[in-house]
Each structure stands twice: as C-alpha cells, then as structure tokens.
C-alpha cells in the first residue's frame, strides 16, 4: 500500500464509528450514495496529489494532497402532530463538529509533515421528502515519500 | 375554448384515476393521486419526491405547512402548491410525523 492511500485509510479509521453518524457509513474512494435507510454518511475522496522533488538526488518526493471529506445529512421530522422539520444545515451541523474534531485529533500517519483542514466548507441543499444537505471539508496534507516506491519517508 | 376543454378532460381523467385519500389538517378529506418517485440528490443522497395531485377546485383549503395524512402512505407537510393551469394542482410533500 502506498503512503498516498495510507492517508485516507487513517482518515477513514478516524471518522468511522462517530456517534453522530447514527449508524451511517464512511466511504473512501467510492461514489456511493446515502440510501433512504440512512440519515448520515461521510465520503472521503482524494482530489489530487501534487509532488515536487524533496532532495537533490531526487530520492524523495514532497507531496501536497488535497482530500475532500463530504458530510451528508438528511433532515428529519421533529415533533409528533407537527409539520416542523429539521433543516439541512441543522442536520449536517450535528455531524460537522465531531467530524472536524476527529480529523484534527487523528494520529498523524508516518511521513506526514503537515495536516490541516482548510477554513472553507462548501454547502449544498436539496428539497425532497426531507431536506438534505452536504458540507464538504477540504483537508490538505503535506507528506514525504520515497521516489522509488511511494512509501513514507 | 381549448383551455376549457382541457380542464374538463383533466378533471374527468383524474376523477377516474385518483387512487388515494388524504386528510388535510386533521379535518377535510381530499381525493387524488399520490406519487413518490426516488432520485439522487446532491450527487450522493437518495431521496423521494412525494407529491399529491388533485383537482384545483378541491384544494382551496390547502396551505403551505398544512398537515396531510395520506392513507396508507404516512404523514406529510405541504412544502409547495403548484397549480398547472389546466385544473390540476400538485402538492409537493415533505415527511412529517403522524
């Protein structure tokens, strides 16, 4: 396994099992959809790895990885005998804080020099039988691998 | 003239096809067609677009946020009221608790 994949494996481990997921799943490297039976989910997808030579001999590569973490949430009906509904932003917010905290607190994988969440969250909404919302976090990771086999250096 | 004919035709067709009864705001009964197709939203979330189609002449009491209990299908709130101009109105529905 390359150090590139190790990053998202560590991320998936850090996010799996959060109580705020309400039993939902954490997908890595998939274009999977949140089924009707689930109200929360997370998708981790690498956007890109961009590298530069890290030493004169060209034996190490310094990478910058951009990883998208999509938090998916479905609003729900709130009160019996009422039409009050949880809106999409409130629904995804239940997942935002624990997911953000889990990423910030995750153990740093070998070879990683810097790992930080960009202060930018992209929201999208849609109206159907429930209001649904996605909030996409941008994780930037700077790490070093060997040039020969992409293992953590 | 064509508009009137279209309204009469739509009305006659819906009277034959309407298959669901619903209770509006725990009081009035409505008769119409319930549909609940599935689609994908936001490139990642499966949702259903519940709607109830009825004669425009029979939905004067319907309001945004009205409670609609569709028999056999569950409780909804009215999220949007969309008259089509030919005598039919589509109510866009969101899930509520009975």
Distance, in Å, from the CA atom of A110 to the CA atom of A115, rounded to the nearest integer, reads 12
Q: Is A133 helix (H, G, I), strand (E, B) or coil?
A: strand
The 10s digit of each residue's pLDDT in A94-136 is 999 999 999 999 999 999 999 999 999 999 999 998 899 999 9
Distance, in Å, from the CA atom of A52 to the CA atom of A60, rounded to the nearest integer, reads 9
CB contact under 8 A, B47 and A129: yes
pTM for the predicted model, two decimal places: 0.86
Distance, in Å, from the CA atom of B78 to the CA atom of B33, rounded to the nearest integer, reads 15
Write out the two tokens for A119: 């202060």
Looking at residue B86, the DSSP 8-state letter turns out to be S
How far is CA A144 from each of CA A43, A68, A147, B13, rounded to the nearest angstrom?
25, 20, 9, 69
Instruction: Say what the pLDDT of residue B4 is.
Output: 81
Distance, in Å, from the CA atom of A39 to the CA atom of B39, rounded to the nearest integer, reads 16
Query: Is the CB of residue A115 less than 8 Å from the CB of residue A63?
Result: no
The 10s digit of each residue's pLDDT in A51-95 is 999 888 889 999 999 999 999 999 876 655 556 678 899 999 999
Q: Is B58 helix (H, G, I), strand (E, B) or coil?
A: helix
Residues of A in contact with B47 (CB under 8 A): 36, 74, 126, 128-130, 132
Instruction: Say what the pLDDT of residue A120 is.
Output: 95
Q: Which of A31, A83, A134 sits opposite B67 (nearest CB)?
A: A83
Per the document, the length of chain B is 98
Residues of B in contact with A124 (CB under 8 A): 42
CB contact under 8 A, A33 and B97: no
The interface pTM score, or ipTM, of the predicted complex is 0.79
Distance, in Å, from the CA atom of B67 to the CA atom of A107, rounded to the nearest integer, reads 49
Instruction: Say what the pLDDT of residue A28 is.
Output: 95
Q: Does A34 touch chain B (CB under 8 A)?
A: yes
Query: Is the CB of residue A80 less than 8 Å from the CB of residue B97?
Result: yes
Sign of CA dihedral B72, B77, B79, B83: positive
């Amino acid at each position: 396994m390359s150090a590139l994949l190790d990053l998202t494996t560590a991320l998936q481990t850090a996010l799996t099992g959060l109580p705020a997921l309400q039993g939902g799943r954490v997908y890595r490297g998939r274009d999977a959809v949140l089924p009707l039976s689930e109200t929360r989910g997370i998708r981790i997808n690498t956007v890109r790895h961009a590298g530069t030579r890290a030493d004169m001999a060209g034996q190490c590569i310094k990478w910058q990885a951009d990883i998208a973490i999509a938090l998916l949430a479905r609003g729900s009906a709130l009160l019996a005998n009422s039409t009050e509904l949880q809106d999409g932003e409130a629904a995804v917010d239940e997942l935002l804080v624990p997911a953000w905290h889990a990423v910030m607190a995750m153990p740093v994988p070998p070879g990683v020099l810097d790992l930080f969440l960009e202060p930018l969250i992209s929201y999208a909404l849609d109206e159907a039988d429930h209001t649904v919302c996605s909030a996409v976090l941008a994780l930037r990771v700077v790490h070093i691998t060997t040039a020969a086999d992409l293992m953590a250096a | 003239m064509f508009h009137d004919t279209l309204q009469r035709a739509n009305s006659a067709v819906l009277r034959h096809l309407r298959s669901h009864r619903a209770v509006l705001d725990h009081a009035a009964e409505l008769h119409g067609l319930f549909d609940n197709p599935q689609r994908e939203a936001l490139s990642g979330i499966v949702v259903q677009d519940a709607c109830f189609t009825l004669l425009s002449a029979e939905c004067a009491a319907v309001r945004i946020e009205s409670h609609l209990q569709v028999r056999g299908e569950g409780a909804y709130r009215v999220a949007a009221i969309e008259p089509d101009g030919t005598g039919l109105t589509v109510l866009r529905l969101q899930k509520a608790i009975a």
